[in-house]
Structure 1
Amino acid sequence: MAAIIEPTNLEPEKQTLLSHHKEKHFTAGEIVRDIIIGVSDGLTVPFALAAGLSGANATSSIVLTAGIAEVAAGAISMGLGGKKPQAWLDFMMKFELGLEKPDPRRALHSALTIAIAYVLGGLVPLLPYMFIPIAREALVASVVLTLLALLIFGYAKGYFTGSKPFISAFQTTLIGAIASAAAYGLAKAIHP
């Protein structure tokens, strides 16, 4: 959304100059913040869970069942975290995502936005498991699909938060890749 700022209470010559110049400011910051919070964890956590379960030789149906359960629990947890921000959420928003604390007056809207964004992000890494019955093959498709989604999401996050979009895209993708590789590696080490 954009707001147009009109010049008022200015000298006539300045008002004439400014009447030809209209600034548009991005005003959807709170919604974007909520979407970033939800999608950020929604893409990464189920991705790491699916990779870990695949590394433990689980079937696609088990990965999908556990993944959907995690997405439901994560959406509720993240949504409630957006209603009553705890210290960890404040820390994550400020230092990891570069965002401000939510306005308590829009708590329900914020909670729903975060939860829906989490679900949408969380379904991305699980989609291949819905269509590919062999978990190892589904994992390869999940890795490609999710890393691409993280790249696009990271770029958009950087664009909307004022960070450098390409650096944000790289960092977001790298974090998701490290999380899923760690989960997969640990599962393989425990369950060869």
Structure 2
Amino acid sequence: MTSAATIAIPTKESPLLFEGMTWREFKAVEQLLDRPGHRLSYLDGVLEIRKMPGEAHETVKKRIAALLELYLLTAGFDFTPTGSMTLESESGAVKREADESYKLAPGRVRPDLAIEVVFTSGGINKLEAYKRLLIPELWFWEDGVLEVYHLRKQGNALDYEKVSCSEEVKGIDLDLLLRCIDIVNHVEAIKTFQQALQP
């Protein structure tokens, strides 16, 4: 039986932003701040420093990962979880770490899917950052809503388009996924999702 309670969402915090930083300066600062408790991102000369997420963030992140991996196994994907691996490009003036990421077939150079669980406000433009990193699909979970963006070529340019269903994880029921993310009890959420996947 599905619980009516949902995961509590804490008050949003804003990151620290430092503008006018070269890539070289960013890399030097990154080494100095290589300590637990902070996550650094960079885009077009702007350094973003966020505190590492708390329990609510980690709960949602791990719930999405568990449900998605169950679906990928059931649907027969030959996938590799790449977690919050560092994605960066000096020529693109960008560095970002997703909350979760996945290669959805063997031999991929970069993840096919990046997932962001948003509990903060402001900061660098995440869509622009991932576009420069050539990540085909992004999922953003924020305040109980899941938005999906797919990278499209329009003329000579690339841009993300908001879509209603995943093009990388074909067949996944995003409404069901979202309902199960919101179930407070982790085991109940997984069982509910697993039962719905059975033929």
- The structure with the greater share of residues assigned to strand is 2
> Is the pair's TM-score, using the shorter chain for normalization, greater than 0.5?
no
- TM-score, structure 1 normalization: 0.26
- The structure with the greater share of residues assigned to helix is 1
- TM-score, structure 2 normalization: 0.25
Greater relative contact order structure (CA < 8 Å, 6+ sep): 1
Rg larger in structure: 1
